[in-house]
Chain A
Amino acid sequence: MNFYYSFGTVLLLLAITAPTALAFGFGGATAARSQIAPIRWFGKGYISIVRGVPDIAFFLFFVIALDQAFEYIRHRIKCPEWDEPIRQGSDFVVCQAAKLPLGNAPQWVHETYGFALAVLTFAIVFGAFAANVLYGAMRAVPRAQLETAEAYGMTRRQVTRRVLIPQMWVYALPGLSNLWMVLIKATPLLFLLGVEDIVYWAREMGGTKTPQFTDYPHGDWRMWYFFFLLVFYLCFTKLSEVVLDRIMARLTLGQATAGGEAQRKAAA
Chain B
Amino acid sequence: MSCAQTFADYALRAIGIGERLLPRGDFTLCQQFTLIGSGMIWNIYFGVLALLIGFVLATAVAVGKASHNRAIRKASEWFIFVFRGSPLFIQFFFAYFLFLSLKGVWPMFSPLTSAAYGALTVLILNTAAYSGEIFYGALLSIPKGDTEAADAYGMSGWSRFRRVIWPTMLRLGWPAYTNEAIFLFHATTLVYFSGFPATQQRGDALYYANYFADKTFNPFIPYPILAGYFILLTLVVIGLFGLINARLNRHLPQDRRAKIKLRPNLIR
Hey, which bits of chain A sit against chain B, CB under 8 A?
A: 50-57, 60-61, 64-65, 68, 87, 90-92, 129, 132-133, 178-179, 182, 184-189, 191-192, 199, 202-203, 206, 220, 222-223, 226-227, 229-230, 233-234, 237-238
Contact = CB atoms under 8 A, between A and B. Distances in A.
Interface residues of B, number: 44
Interface string B122-163: 000000000000000000000000000000000000000000
A233 to B, nearest CB: 4
Contacts of A199: 89-90, 93
B186 A61 contact: no
Given A92-B218, A223-B101, 4 more contacts: A54-B189, A55-B267, A90-B215, A230-B90
A188 to B, nearest CB: 4
Interface in B139-196: 186-187, 189-190, 193
B189 A56 contact: yes
Contact residues of B: prevailing secondary structure: helix
A189 B264 contact: no
B227 interface: yes
17 contacts: A54-B187, A55-B265, A56-B190, A57-B226, A60-B213, A61-B223, A133-B264, A182-B268, A188-B89, A188-B90, A199-B90, A206-B97, A227-B94, A229-B93, A230-B82, A230-B91, A233-B87
A55 to B, nearest CB: 5
A185 B86 contact: yes
B223 A56 contact: no
Given A57-B227, A61-B223, A220 B101 contact: yes
A54 B87 contact: no
A182 B206 contact: no
B244 interface: no
B268 A185 contact: yes
Interface string B79-108: 001100111111101100110110000000
Interface of B: 25, 27, 81-82, 85-91, 93-94, 97-98, 100-101, 186-187, 189-190, 193, 206, 209-210, 213, 215-220, 223, 226-227, 230-231, 234, 262, 264-268
Q: Which 8 A-B pairs have the closest CB atoms?
A: A54-B186, A226-B94, A223-B97, A185-B87, A61-B223, A188-B89, A90-B216, A64-B219
A95 to B, nearest CB: 16
Given A92-B218, A220-B101, A178 B206 contact: no
Contact of B189 (A57, A64, A90): A57
A19 B216 CA distance: 34
A148 to B, nearest CB: 30
A178 B189 contact: no
Contacts of A233: 85-87, 90
Given A90-B27, A226-B93, A234 B216 contact: no
Contact of B264 (A56, A129, A230): A129
Contact residues of A: prevailing secondary structure: helix
Contacts of B219: 60-61, 64-65, 68
Nearest to B101: A223
Nearest to B235: A52
A188 B87 contact: yes
A67 B180 CA distance: 33
A220 B265 contact: no
Contacts of A54: 186-187, 189, 206, 226, 230, 265
A226 to B, nearest CB: 4
Contacts of B101: 220, 223
B252 to A, nearest CB: 24
A226 B97 contact: yes
A135 to B, nearest CB: 10
B82 to A, nearest CB: 7
Contacts of B210: 60
Contacts of A178: 266
Contacts of A238: 81, 85
A229 B94 contact: yes
A91 B87 CA distance: 35
Contacts of B91: 230
Nearest to B222: A61
Contacts of A133: 264
Given A54-B230, A129-B266, A229 B206 contact: no
A237 B267 contact: no
